[in-house]
Amino acid sequence: MLIALLTDIHGNREALSACLAHTRLIGVDRLIFLGDFVGYGADPAWVVDQVRGLVDKGAVALLGNHDAAIDGSDEDMNSVAREAIRWTRNQLGLEQRRFLADLPLIHEEGSVLYVHANGYAPRNWDYMSGPMEAIRHFSRVDAHITFCGHVHVPMLYHMSTTAKVGAFSPVGDNDIPLLPSRTWLAVIGAVGQPRDGVPAANYAVFDTARQTLRYLRVPYDNATAARKVREAGLPEKLALRLEEGR
Amino acid sequence: MRWRLSPGTEIDGFTLLEHLGTGGMAQLWAVTREGDPTPLVMKIPLLVDSDDPLPIVCFETEQMIMPRLSGVHVPRFVATGPLEPMPYIVMERIPGESLKKHLDAVPLPWPEVVTIGAKVAHALHDLHRQHVIHLDVKPSNVMIRETGEAVLIDYGFARHERLPDLLAEEFREPFGTTPYMAPEQVLQDRADPRSDLFALGVMLYFFVTGKRPFGNPRGGQIRRRLWRDPVPPRALAPDCPPWLQEVILRCLEVDPQDRYATAALLALDLENPAHVKLTERAARLERDGGVKTFRRWLKARKAQPLEAPNIAGQLSRAPIVLVAIDLSSGAEDLAEAQRLMIGRILSIEGEARIACVNVLKTSRIAVDILEDEEGRSLHVQRLVQLRHWGAALDIPSERISYSVLEAPDPAAALVDYARRNNVDHIVIGARASSALRRYLGSVSSQVVAEAPCSVTVVRTPRDRRMGDISGEFA
């Protein structure tokens, strides 16, 4: 079975549409969203409606920190993120807000864990931003494979039988075998706000039969997404990020 | 868990037949599977009673890389089993022995060494094109198929540029087999495909002279190869021709930049000794003096391991470009247009190797008269014309070669040449389309259709204009 892993959509309608079209093209069987459907982008309501529709058809959607901030506190956020969240609150109806508030923090299937930020304390939103953080995760989480987002930049961490941790920066269009002899932490890059210098949307496909992971890049109409951010009166920095991918 | 392995034992549908041997990190069994007539071999890593994680990581590395390899130069991957309950890899069994069988017979006659070297170089180029560096090239890891191709086995130390490098991340020490290890491998750099060319150079040296160029060092002695050059092969084996010494010593250069850029270029030289440009290396009869060695030693002290791997990049920096030139009269403008195109390619791809080829068309049935009225060989005349064409390009002679092929079907001959010599890019001229040409078929369109690589079709400015006027875009 092919599972598409999509995360950090952040209200980017153009990027999500392009990724979903791509999942249909390659025949993905299942969708798992790792959170942060809103914040930053100009189409939060549309994105939430799409995801709700997909969840009704069997997709899994998890809670991200931006989703949690809609009905919760935004005090921990930087000023740009906070401004975007405050704008986003006015865009969402009651139903949409309830959908976000009810999202689960984690999802487990066998020895595979899906979560937005990290596996050991999902609600503290610690970033898996380097090998040290990955070691913290590996030392406290039993799952054989963990998929998360939150960092926006794709990265693959792995731990050997002797507890040595390695980090690998994945290159596109390439099936990486997630060997059963290792423990894996796969950080999936952002759909709606890539930050590694490449504006194309990120997502990944996990092949459960072959136990391989493929990181993908999907070019999308980021010029339109950036224009809508400006038209919405959101911070200019958010539009620039979409144009430059950083 | 300890498994008693004996003939007849069944593992995941494979039946053990015969114990073929036990190496440093694995044992090998001939196995069979119901309904599968091909001879298979099962490699079982020795993980029992060992605190050493190296065999596990080598096994994992092979498990990752082998399923992704294909082609005649690698054993076909069949199946793998996880660490628990029983780790193994099953692959095609290559009949015969490895090149290790030659170890008792060294030195070998040099022509035989050249043949072996070319086979291994072709195999390495094919592997590098699959984004993999072997990093443990040595006689026991090379088999020769009954059909003649070299097969590289044992990927425990290999590096795939698009997969995590488990060895580098787990350990902080150099890997490989010490006599064959390239200087940069000693410095723990596992990113350069030219490391495999160094190891092949060690092998060729050993086969020609009967001695290993750097002995069989241990511990800190491994680093000596960063500054101490080997005794030139001809000092040990006087019948080794200078060109072969040139090739071997070029493979053994300390700086990868000074070696062949690709295994394909090495194969090209081994198969075309006349093309080998002889330098001071060919004439050397003793090792470098103290001053030169001391300078290298100083440099080696500061040497640092480097960069991320870029195998594909390394290969594409030094492409082999075949330019097929029509020397018939009236084609001068086309030859000129092709020279301009090659000039452009050279300005972008600084290390490109240009193979100028002309086909002397022979008849399929009649006996060809390959001399003109004055008895001059047409072949030689063509060669002279080709050299004249190439001289205007102004590139070093070792980067350009000239060949005249004799064949009844020019397009097939060009495609075959490209395939045998790992050509990356063909540049061929073509006349503008016309009804007659479409009816007869053109050499260029046949080459475009059948070539194993990229093809650029060059037209002259005049033909481009005519195409515009007639509205044809061929």
Instruction: Show Cβ contacts of residue B462 under 8 Å, excluding neighbours closer than 6 positions.
Output: B333
Q: Between B302 and B13, where is the model more confident?
A: B13
Is 0.95 surpassed by the pTM of this model? Answer: no
What pLDDT is stored for residue B316 in this prediction?
Answer: 76
Residues B319 and B307: their CA atoms lie apart, in Å, by 22
Looking at the structure, do residues B350 and B452 belong to the same domain, yes or no?
Answer: yes
CB contact under 8 A, A162 and B67: no
Confidence of residue B377 (pLDDT cuts 50, 70, 90): confident
Q: State the smallest CA–CA distance between residue A110 and chain B in angstroms.
A: 17
Residue B170 predicted with pLDDT over 90? no
CB contact under 8 A, A166 and B53: no
Same domain (yes/no): B155, B34: no
DSSP state string for A6-63: E---TT-HHHHHHHHHHHHHTT--EEEE-S--SSSSS-HHHHHHHHHHHHHTT-EE--
Query: Which of B275, B280, B239 is CA-nearest to residue B390?
Result: B275
Question: What is the residue range of A110's domain?
Answer: 2-244
Regarding predicted confidence, which is higher, A139 or B298?
A139
Of B83, B163, B165, the CB nearest to A176: B163
Tell me which chain A residues have a C-beta less than 8 angstroms from the C-beta of B83.
161, 180-181
pLDDT of residue B271: 96
- Chain-chain contact of B60 with A171 (C-beta, under 8 angstroms): no
| Å between B57 CA and nearest CA of chain A | 8
Residues of A in contact with B170 (CB under 8 A): 160, 162, 164, 166
Å between A175 CA and nearest CA of chain B: 9
Same domain membership, residue B182 and residue B285 = yes
B337 has a pLDDT exceeding 80:
yes
Domain residue limits at B402: 319-470
**B115 and B203 within one domain:** yes
A154 touches chain B (CB under 8 A): no
Please give the C-alpha separations between residue B302 and each of A199, B195, B225, B256, B309, in angstroms, as whole numbers: 39, 19, 15, 16, 21
The answer to whether residue B467 scores a pLDDT higher than 60 is no
Q: ipTM of this model?
A: 0.85
Residue B230 has pLDDT above 50, yes or no: yes
Q: B107 and B170, same structural domain?
A: yes
Which CATH number is B26's domain given? 3.30.200.20
- B241, pLDDT greater than 90: yes
Give the mean pLDDT of B16-24.
87
For residue B459, tell me if it sits in a domain.
Answer: yes
Residue A144 carries which side chain, given as an amino acid letter? H
Contact A43, A13 (CB under 8 A): yes
Q: Is residue B3 part of a domain?
A: no
Among B87, B162, B169, select the one facing A174 at the smallest CB separation.
Answer: B162
Percent of chain B at pLDDT > 90 equals 50
Find tokens 């993999």 and name the residue. B132
Q: How many domains does chain A have?
A: 1
Does some domain include residue B63? yes
- Amino acid B275: pLDDT: 86
**3-state DSSP assignment of residue A157:** strand
Domain boundary among the residues B250, B282, B315 is at: B315
Q: Please tell me the predicted confidence (pLDDT) of residue B304.
A: 67
CA distance A189 to A196: 9
- Among residues 202-241 of chain A, which lie with CB inside 8 Å of chain B? none
Domain stops at, among B77, B92, B107: B92
pLDDT digits 0-9 by tens, B174-202: 778 889 999 888 888 888 999 999 999 99
A179 and B53 within 8 Å at the Cβ level: the answer is no
Any B CB within 8 A of A111 CB: no
CATH number for the domain that contains residue B274: 1.10.510.10
**A104 reaches B (C-beta below 8 A):** no
Q: How many residues does chain A have?
A: 246
What is the pLDDT, as a whole number, of residue B472?
43
Chain A partners of B57 at a C-beta cutoff of 8 Å? 160
Of B57, B64, B162, the CB nearest to A160: B57
Considering only the beta carbons, identify the residue of B64, B84, B165 that sits closest to A177: B64
Give pLDDT, residue B83: 77
Residues B302 and B336 grouped into a single domain: no
Residues B173, B268, single domain; the answer is yes
Task: Give yes or no for a contact between A159 and A165, defined as CB atoms under 8 angstroms apart.
Answer: yes
Chain B residue with minimal CA distance to A174? Answer: B162
The chain B residue lying nearest A184, using CA atoms, is B164
CB contact under 8 A, B56 and A160: yes
CB within 8 Å of A211: residues ≥ 6 apart:
A177, A178, A179, A180
Q: Per the domain annotation, does B136 fall within a domain?
A: yes
Ranking A9-23, A59-73, B252-266, B337-351 by mean pLDDT, the lowest is B337-351
Closest CA–CA distance from residue B58 to any residue of chain A (Å): 12
| Residue B380: both structure tokens together | 């030689």
Predicted local distance difference test score (pLDDT) of residue B473: 43
Number of structural domains (chain B) is 3
Residue B2 in any domain: the answer is no
Residue B265 in contact with residue B353, Cβ under 8 Å?
Answer: yes
Banded pLDDT at B1 (limits 50, 70, 90): very low
Sorted by sequence, the CB contacts under 8 Å of residue A14 that are 6+ apart come out as A220, A221, A222, A224, A225
| Facing residue for B170 by CB, picked from A160, A167, A180 | A160
What pLDDT is recorded for position B471?
44
Identify the pLDDT of residue B381.
87
The minimum CA-CA distance between B64 and chain A, rounded to whole Å, is 6
Q: Is B166 in contact with A160 (Cβ distance < 8 A)?
A: yes
Cβ separation of A181 and B170 shorter than 8 Å?
Answer: no
- At B309, the pLDDT band (50, 70, 90 cuts) reads low
Assess A134–B contact: CB distance below 8 Å, yes or no.
no
**Chain A: residue nearest B68 by CA?**
A175
- Structure confidence at residue B193 (pLDDT): 95
Pick from A162, A176, A181: CB nearest B82? A181
With CA atoms as reference, report the closest residue to B148 among B96, B92, B220. B96
Q: Is residue B210 pLDDT above 70, yes or no?
A: yes
- The total of other beta-carbon atoms located within 10 Å of residue B375's CB is 6
How close is the nearest chain B Cα to the Cα of A182, in Å?
A: 9
Please provide the average confidence, as pLDDT, over all residues in chain B.
Answer: 87
> Which is more confidently placed, B363 or A201?
A201
Interchain CB contact of A156 with B (< 8 Å): yes
Interface test with A, best of B51, B131, B166, B173 (most A CBs within 10 A): B166
Q: HSE of B214 in the Cβ direction (CA atoms, 13 Å)?
A: 29
Q: Chain A residue closest to B54 (CA)?
A: A162
Per-residue pLDDT, averaged over B262-287, amounts to 93
**Least confident residue range of A162-166, A217-221, B7-11, B439-443:** B439-443
Highest average pLDDT, of A135-139, B291-295, B463-467, comes from A135-139
- Say how many Å lie between the first and final Cα of chain B, rounded: 68
**Is residue B262 helix, strand or coil?**
coil
**In chain A, what residues touch B80 (CB-CB under 8 Å)?**
none
Asked whether the beta carbons of B309 and B159 are under 8 A apart, the reply is yes
Q: What are phi and psi of B322, to 5 degrees?
A: -95, 125
Q: Which of B105, B170, B188 has its CA nearest to residue B139?
A: B105
- Residue B219 DSSP SS3: helix
| Same domain for B72 and B124 | no
User: Which pLDDT belongs to residue B320?
Assistant: 92
The model's confidence at residue B239, banded by pLDDT at 50, 70 and 90, is: very high
Query: Residue B151: is its pLDDT beyond 70?
Result: yes
Is B105 part of a structural domain of the chain?
A: yes
Beta-carbon separation of A161 and B53 below 8 A: yes
Digitized pLDDT (tens) for each residue of chain A, 246 residues in all: 999 999 999 999 999 999 999 999 999 999 999 999 999 999 999 999 999 999 999 999 999 999 999 998 888 889 999 999 999 999 999 999 999 999 999 999 999 999 999 999 999 999 999 999 999 999 999 999 999 999 999 999 999 888 889 999 998 778 999 999 899 999 999 999 999 999 999 999 999 999 999 999 999 999 999 999 999 999 999 999 999 998
Do B170 and A156 make contact, defined as CB atoms within 8 angstroms?
Answer: no
User: Quick one: average pLDDT of B276-282?
Assistant: 92
Write down how long chain B is: 474
CATH code where residue A102 lies: 3.60.21.10
- Whether B86 maps to a domain, the answer reads yes
Per-residue confidence (pLDDT) for residue B174, from 0 to 100: 77
Interchain CB contacts (distance < 8 Å): A and B: 51
Judge: A166–B56 Cβ closer than 8 Å, yes or no.
no
Nearest by CB to A181, from B56, B163, B165: name it. Answer: B56
B83-130 pLDDT, tens digit each: 777 889 999 999 888 999 888 899 999 999 999 999 999 999 999 999
**Which of B53, B60, B170 is closest, CB to CB, to A179?**
B60
Q: Long-range pairs for B171-174 at CB < 8 Å and ≥24 separation? A: B171/B54, B171/B57, B174/B222
| Same structural domain, B110 and B258 | yes
Nearest to B83 among A164, A167, A181 (CB): A181
CATH number for the domain spanning B362: value is 3.40.50.620
